Chain A
Amino acid sequence: MQELISRLKELLESGSVQRVLGWKKGDFTFNPEPAYFNSAEELSEFVYDGFCGANLSKYMIKASNLEGVTAVLLKPCDTYSFNQLIKEHRVIREKAYIIGIGCKGKLSLDAIKAQGVKGITDIKGAEIDGDCNELKVETLYGEKTVSYKDSMLERCHVCKGKEHMIYDELMLESADTLDADRFTDVEIIENLTSEDKFTYFQRELSKCIRCNACRNVCPACSCRKCVFDSTKFDSEQKANVDPFHESMFHIIRAFHVAGRCTDCGECSRVCPQGIPLHLFNRKFIKDINEYYGVFQAGEDIGQTSPLTDYTLDDMEAEERR
């Protein structure tokens, strides 16, 4: 970590980058937030640990319009998103100096709370230099120890691997976190009766408060004009009050990002209602893999995405499983 900060200082001081896009300390140890650092002094606030789950690639859309080069810190999974954004002409490659940083799995406060921990005031053991085996959680009711693995975000259990798809330089060690198959839950749902499927999804989707957080955080959801932009309020970020958009939001959004979603897991991470949004995206990914050949968005910029492509002998819709 010290080594990373010195390197960032060096980049800023030498003038080779104008700013750093990373994470700064939050109010607690467990809520750092994305931030720009314009000078070496500002780096005193810098942090990178197990709670830095936010994917910074989307921030590079705006940063691409800023003066000079931005040094951006990307975890292995974030680099898929960055590649996809290059492909969609939403970021300018030359405006980014990509520091591919290691990752030992990112943590979820909800996963920690789900282990029966309440009143959290501090968490130790998420430092990137540590061994990331155990977390010491200080609470209003005393100290508790939980396993790092059980406290990870869902997406880290199904990690695509710790290899960076694009970078200018690499820093910090990674650790393997993959211990599940990402399509297991999709398969379980596929095997339900249509009534049970509906009951399941209706229950999940009824929790949605249409805050638009999932759309706003999604690197694939970076259209200049979004179908869900509000036409009725001054703020486009507000949800539209159209019953159609209300009830079909999740399907429409998932379809819009089909073939472009890298499965970065940000939507599920930010949903304040804990809706497993990745189940929609992964259904499309699974179908695409099965029907049109294995495809990973953001892996290879040169590859045509499956929905802007076809073959003469594609299967018919009626032949779907």
Chain B
Amino acid sequence: MSLTNEEFRPKIVAFCCNWCSYAGADLAGSSRLSYPADVKIIRVPCSCRVNPMFILRAFEKGADGVIICGCHPGDCHYSTGNYYARRRMTLLFSMLDYVGIERGRTRVEWVSAAEGVKFSQTMNEFVETVRSLGKNVRLGDLRCKN
């Protein structure tokens, strides 16, 4: 079997906060905007619920890209959750860059409940980027497996 980049369908995990981004995804759906089925959404109460270990776990379980979506700064349902998440994700993703995980595999995006269009655009773009990077083997094999 030959697997070329065209045929490759990446596995994408999207952590979406319940109050904005998940509703944004809903709106994208009800507005009949499309985004690739490769995106699997995991609903979380707030972007700051995303423990960095969730992201590593997603990669370890075979995700090729992970994106976190939350309310725009200032709009978090819990006032400040996304401010903490922003720092955490910045540092974690920077660490992943540092150990050699391609930068395009991680992303943070703020999507409001009214931004169905932005949701679909973001997902389309992100899937495209990850598709071009190919399968993520590195995080599954940070230590040689043999």
A252 touches B97 (CB 8 A): no
User: Counting CB contacts under 8 A, is B80 at the interface?
Assistant: yes
Q: How far is the CA of A254 from the CA of B142 in the complex (A)?
A: 15
Q: Which of B53, B95, B140, B144 contacts A280 (CB 8 A)?
A: B95
Partner of A247, one of B84, B87, B97, B142: B142
Residue A169 lies at the interface, judged by CB distance under 8 Å to chain B? no
Complex formed: what's the CA distance from A194 to B100 in Å?
A: 4
Give the size range of B's interface with the partner: 35 or more
Report Cα–Cα, A287/B73, bound state, in Å.
Answer: 21
Q: Is the CB of A310 within 8 A of B94?
A: no
B89 to A, closest residue via Cβ = A317
- Which of A69-77, A152-160, A197-205 forms contacts with chain B? A197-205
Given contacts A205-B143, A247-B140, A310-B86, contact A197 B99 (CB under 8 A): yes
Contact in complex: A307, B88 (CB < 8 Å)? yes
State whether A316 touches B100 (Cβ < 8 A). Answer: no
**A190-B98, A194-B97 known; A310+B60 contact, CB < 8 A:** no
**Contact in complex: A287, B94 (CB < 8 Å):** yes
Q: Is A223 an interface residue (CB 8 A)?
A: no
State the CA gap A200–B144 with chains docked (Å). 12
Tell whether, in the assembled complex, residue B87 and residue A310 are in contact, meaning their CB atoms are under 8 Å apart: yes
**Which residues of the other chain, A, contact B95 by a CB distance below 8 angstroms?**
251, 254-255, 280, 283-284, 287
Looking at B18-26, B34-42, B101-109, the stretch in contact with chain A turns out to be: B101-109
Provide the B109-146 mask, 1 if CB < 8 A to any CB of A, else 0.
00000000000000000000000000000111111100
> Do residues A314 and B88 form an inter-chain contact, with CB atoms below 8 A?
no
Residues in A neighbouring B88, C-beta threshold 8 A = 307
Q: Which B57-115 residues have C-beta < 8 A from chain A?
A: 57, 60, 73-74, 80, 83-84, 86-103, 106-108
Please list 20 pairs of residues, one from A and one from B, whose beta carbons are closer than 8 Å in the complex, sorted by A's number: A194-B100, A194-B101, A200-B100, A201-B142, A202-B142, A255-B95, A258-B91, A280-B95, A283-B98, A287-B90, A308-B84, A310-B80, A312-B73, A314-B86, A316-B90, A317-B90, A317-B93, A318-B108, A320-B90, A320-B97
Given contacts A288-B91, A310-B84, 14 further A-B contacts (CB under 8 A): A190-B98, A194-B97, A195-B100, A199-B100, A227-B53, A247-B139, A247-B141, A248-B142, A283-B98, A287-B94, A291-B90, A310-B83, A312-B83, A318-B107
